[in-house]
Chain A
Amino acid sequence: MVVKGGRVVDSTGSRAADVVVVDGRIAAIGDGLDGDEVLDAGGCVVAPGLVDLHTHLRQPGREEAETVETGSRAAALGGYTAVVAMPNTEPAIDSAAVVREVLELGRAARLCDVHAAGAITVGRAGDRLAPLAEMAALGVRLFTDDGNGVQDSRLMRRAMEYAKPLGAVLAQHCEDAGLAGGGHMHEGAWSSRLGIPGQPSEAEELMVMRDIALARLTGARVHFQHLSTAGSIAMVRAARRAGLPVTAEATTHHFTLTHEACSSYDPVFKVNPPLRTSEDVEAVKGGLRDGTVDAIATDHAPHAPEQKELPFDQAPPGMLGLETALALALTELALPIEEVLALMSWRPAALAGLDEHGGPLAPGRPANLCVIDPTATWTVDPGALASRSRNTPYAGRRLTGRVRHTVLHGEPVVVDGEATR
């Protein structure tokens, strides 16, 4: 197969070239190459497949909202060749058995490489360590109690000391539960006006501050998930300058939407951490531009329609992201496509230790690619999404940039915007 007529962009630069794929690997890159099968990339960017550090696939336990298969299809359509599945399933991914189940479901779907994040604590309950080494032996590199922050500072210290020699990264959902307690949106002018209990920015920032201190204490790596406040970005920037081993991700919704969206009371805009102020949105963008934030993550969080037709304070938090993230980043960030791809492909791949993803595109490397038409415009239609759920906050939004093809280990899983399986 040859991916023909595109501009190849990876961490080494950009050049017009055709890419020949044989037996799941890149065989050659150059001008005027041919193959038995042609994927047209005329006018398109050919890049390493995208990598999402933060995906909720909901299986096992919440199959009415998403399955590994439907979520993988959404990922492939969004240009992703690898996702890291969050462990807040039912049961939680806190044992080797559940890790194996999720990985097996991912292999069966064959739409994208599904990696599992393990829980830091048993049942994500924050009481005692989950079997991190047992899960690490199965290839798990990221551990998190996502949805919950680890509240107990002593337990978090132990987790960091234990994870460090395993080569694992602890990823934290930063939220001081006491301070955030019962808040359903960002605490501020809008929550006060709308009569919705809020959670202050400081609930996130307190845990960012604490975990920076623990990184200093233990020397262990900490990855900050979905940073949403200007204060968090500033603290991580300072910690990196001080040479501490911290990394961070930000979601598409935290740089495209503000808390004002909640004035519709539509729970599709309910997410945790919550949508914040326009100043926070600008700070997140600034963090993405200057390298403080390593990666754009989706926090793709499907919920069945009936769950999002509850009153705002009863609906679960979370929104879809896999099928809109790239276009939103291209449309909203005003960054060159090379920098957007760094944030969505090679930097997250390196962070999660996914050697087969994120390029560079060179002979012998696994053929995990996405082909992007950077000028195509389209309108988000919730009914047309491949996810089993419909909770996108971007219904009707006009976006520029679309995934045309996705190639997973040499197999075209998306061709001309349609999944092949």
Chain B
Amino acid sequence: MKHLLSIDDLGADGIEEVLRLTASFVEVSSRAIPKVPALRGKTVVSLFFEDSTRTRLSFETAARRLSADTMNFAVASSSVKKGESLRDTVETVEAMGIDALVVRHGSAGVPQQVASWIDASVINAGDGWHEHPTQALLDCYTIRTELDRPFDSLHVGIVGDVKHSRVARSDVLALTALGARVTLVAPGTLLPPSLEGWPVEVAHDLDEVLPKLDVAYLLRMQLERQEDGLVPSLREYSACYGLDIARARRLPEHALVMHPGPMNRGVEITADVAALPRTVITRQVANGVAVRMAVLFLLLGSGVVA
């Protein structure tokens, strides 16, 4: 595999391979010196056209723990602001001699376009509403390690703004590829216009769904959805779809609460729910580094982890 643009590039076997590799990189990360020479001499560049601190840091940390050289192309202070085209920017970066480009962009499909222009590996770090594959992989890894149950026995509820969410698209693909049952819980305006070909169920009553879930996955609710008139108010959204402590009690005892971050406390999740032991948001972040090590190793590595 050369690029990771979509979860579809991996398939069930590929996802399992990433999860297996992730386990070994979790072990590496727990060492006193959490570093292996697997990607020594390789150069990984992050090219983020959208602000993101956590994903960019996670990728850069992962690359360094594999001994790769890292560069960060700061779009805000670059030639892009002077009108340079996307293609020229990407070809300029590649001309410096790089092995992988980690791309985030506000428009769907940009990583796929970039991959068609250059020889280096391209990793999609989030493109518009389309996909965020490494987020889905770290979510799967977190679910597996926290619940220790086979995916085909699990029911995951993805709650909130599915329509505009790249996390939801990648999670649906990954979870269903592994055999999990997925229910989308959202108001009609925040669902994709067509769910043809999506192996999911849809519900609109969170209270009714919660007792059946093994994982309640809450999506970030953005303020502009209210401005666009997709929900009457954030207050009404919270009342219908927010997870507060009373609702969280409806979940089975073992069930997890997850969120891709950053959270809007008080909108999709209340502070007391965020603090519950079943809420594993910081563990998602911690696993993110090992998952990204696994992806980089899979695309660029040759030989053993060491």
Identify the A interface with B (CB < 8 A). Answer: 187-189, 191-198, 200, 264-266, 306, 309-314
Judge whether B194 and A311 touch: CB under 8 Å: no
Instruction: List 24 A-B residue pairs with CB atoms under 8 Å apart, sorted by A's residue number.
Output: A187-B193, A192-B192, A192-B194, A192-B196, A193-B198, A195-B108, A195-B109, A195-B127, A195-B129, A195-B169, A196-B129, A264-B112, A265-B109, A265-B113, A266-B113, A266-B116, A306-B85, A309-B86, A309-B87, A311-B105, A312-B108, A312-B109, A312-B113, A313-B128
Chief secondary structure at chain A's binding surface: loop
How far is it, in angstroms, between the C-alpha of A292 and the C-alpha of B113 when the chains are bound?
Answer: 39
Judge whether B112 and A265 touch: CB under 8 Å: yes
Is B130 part of the binding interface, using a Cβ–Cβ cutoff of 8 Å?
A: yes
Residues of B within 8 A of A266 (CB): 113, 116
Question: Of residues B85, B105, B107, B196, which shows the largest number of chain A Cβ atoms within 10 Å of its Cβ?
Answer: B107
Docked complex: B185-221 residues within 8 A CB-CB of A: 192-198
Q: Given A187-B194, A191-B193, check contact A310 B85 (CB 8 Å).
A: yes
Residues of A within 8 A of B108 (CB): 194-196, 265, 311-313
Question: Closest residue to B130 on the A side, CB-wise?
Answer: A195
Residues of A within 8 A of B128 (CB): 195-196, 313
**How many residues from B make CB contacts under 8 Å with A?**
25
Is B181 part of the binding interface, using a Cβ–Cβ cutoff of 8 Å?
A: no
Residues of B within 8 A of A265 (CB): 108-110, 112-113
How far is it, in angstroms, between the C-alpha of A288 and the C-alpha of B37 when the chains are bound?
Answer: 65
Residues of B within 8 A of A312 (CB): 107-109, 113
How far is it, in angstroms, between the C-alpha of A265 and the C-alpha of B128 when the chains are bound?
Answer: 12
Docked complex: B167-197 residues within 8 A CB-CB of A: 169, 192-197
Is B131 part of the binding interface, using a Cβ–Cβ cutoff of 8 Å?
A: yes
Judge whether B86 and A188 touch: CB under 8 Å: no
Is B166 part of the binding interface, using a Cβ–Cβ cutoff of 8 Å?
A: yes
Question: Of residues A193, A266, A314, which shows the largest number of chain B Cβ atoms within 10 Å of its Cβ?
Answer: A193
How far is it, in angstroms, between the C-alpha of A194 and the C-alpha of B194 when the chains are bound?
Answer: 11
Judge whether B113 and A311 touch: CB under 8 Å: yes
How far is it, in angstroms, between the C-alpha of A131 and the C-alpha of B131 when the chains are bound?
Answer: 49
How far is it, in angstroms, between the C-alpha of A187 and the C-alpha of B87 when the chains are bound?
Answer: 27
Question: Of residues A309, A310, A311, A312, which shows the largest number of chain B Cβ atoms within 10 Å of its Cβ?
Answer: A311
Contact of B107 among A191, A198, A306, A311 (CB under 8 A): A311
Residues of B within 8 A of A194 (CB): 108-109, 130
- Report A261 CB to chain B, min CB distance, Å: 13
Judge whether B196 and A311 touch: CB under 8 Å: no
Question: Closest residue to B164 on the A side, CB-wise?
Answer: A195
Residues of B within 8 A of A188 (CB): 193-194, 196
- Report B91 CB to chain A, min CB distance, Å: 11
- Report B26 CB to chain A, min CB distance, Å: 30
Docked complex: B104-123 residues within 8 A CB-CB of A: 105, 107-110, 112-113, 116
Judge whether A313 and B193 touch: CB under 8 Å: no
Judge whether A195 and B85 touch: CB under 8 Å: no
Judge whether A196 and B109 touch: CB under 8 Å: yes
Question: Closest residue to A190 on the B side, CB-wise?
Answer: B194
Judge whether B131 and A195 touch: CB under 8 Å: yes
How far is it, in angstroms, between the C-alpha of A80 and the C-alpha of B166 when the chains are bound?
Answer: 46
How far is it, in angstroms, between the C-alpha of A264 and the C-alpha of B109 when the chains are bound?
Answer: 8
How far is it, in angstroms, between the C-alpha of A265 and the C-alpha of B131 when the chains are bound?
Answer: 13
Q: Given A265-B109, A311-B107, A313-B107, check contact A198 B86 (CB 8 Å).
A: no
Question: Closest residue to A192 on the B side, CB-wise?
Answer: B192
- Report A76 CB to chain B, min CB distance, Å: 32
Question: Closest residue to B108 on the A side, CB-wise?
Answer: A195
How far is it, in angstroms, between the C-alpha of A189 and the C-alpha of B195 when the chains are bound?
Answer: 7
How far is it, in angstroms, between the C-alpha of A309 and the C-alpha of B108 when the chains are bound?
Answer: 14
- Report A84 CB to chain B, min CB distance, Å: 33
Residues of A within 8 A of B192 (CB): 192-193
Q: List the 3 closest pairs (A to B, CB-CB), nearest first.
A: A265-B109, A195-B130, A311-B107
Question: Closest residue to A191 on the B side, CB-wise?
Answer: B193
Question: Of residues A188, A191, A192, A197, which shows the largest number of chain B Cβ atoms within 10 Å of its Cβ?
Answer: A192
Judge whether B110 and A311 touch: CB under 8 Å: yes
Q: Given A195-B131, A195-B166, A195-B169, check contact A311 B109 (CB 8 Å).
A: yes
**Can you name 15 extra interface pairs (CB under 8 A) apart from A195-B127, A312-B113?**
A192-B194, A192-B195, A192-B196, A192-B198, A193-B198, A195-B109, A195-B130, A196-B108, A196-B128, A200-B193, A265-B109, A310-B85, A311-B105, A311-B108, A313-B108
Residues of B within 8 A of A198 (CB): 193
- Report B112 CB to chain A, min CB distance, Å: 5
How far is it, in angstroms, between the C-alpha of A200 and the C-alpha of B87 when the chains are bound?
Answer: 31
Residues of A within 8 A of B87 (CB): 306, 309
Residues of A within 8 A of B169 (CB): 193, 195
Residues of A within 8 A of B110 (CB): 265, 311
- Report B9 CB to chain A, min CB distance, Å: 13
How far is it, in angstroms, between the C-alpha of A309 and the C-alpha of B110 when the chains are bound?
Answer: 10
Residues of A within 8 A of B112 (CB): 264-265
- Report A46 CB to chain B, min CB distance, Å: 43
Judge whether B107 and A189 touch: CB under 8 Å: no
Residues of A within 8 A of B107 (CB): 311-314
Question: Closest residue to B49 on the A side, CB-wise?
Answer: A311
How far is it, in angstroms, between the C-alpha of A314 and the C-alpha of B110 when the chains are bound?
Answer: 11
Judge whether B193 and A309 touch: CB under 8 Å: no
Docked complex: B245-279 residues within 8 A CB-CB of A: none
Residues of B within 8 A of A306 (CB): 85, 87
Q: Given A194-B130, A195-B169, check contact A309 B85 (CB 8 Å).
A: yes
Residues of A within 8 A of B197 (CB): 189, 193
Residues of B within 8 A of A196 (CB): 108-109, 128-130
How far is it, in angstroms, between the C-alpha of A312 and the C-alpha of B105 when the chains are bound?
Answer: 12
How far is it, in angstroms, between the C-alpha of A387 and the C-alpha of B107 when the chains are bound?
Answer: 29
Residues of B within 8 A of A193 (CB): 169, 192, 197-198
How far is it, in angstroms, between the C-alpha of A306 and the C-alpha of B91 when the chains are bound?
Answer: 14
How far is it, in angstroms, between the C-alpha of A192 and the C-alpha of B86 when the chains are bound?
Answer: 25
Residues of B within 8 A of A313 (CB): 107-108, 128
Residues of B within 8 A of A200 (CB): 193
How far is it, in angstroms, between the C-alpha of A309 and the C-alpha of B112 when the chains are bound?
Answer: 12
Residues of B within 8 A of A192 (CB): 192-196, 198
Question: Of residues B127, B128, B166, B197, which shows the largest number of chain A Cβ atoms within 10 Å of its Cβ?
Answer: B128
Judge whether A311 and B195 touch: CB under 8 Å: no
Question: Closest residue to B90 on the A side, CB-wise?
Answer: A309
Question: Closest residue to A305 on the B side, CB-wise?
Answer: B87
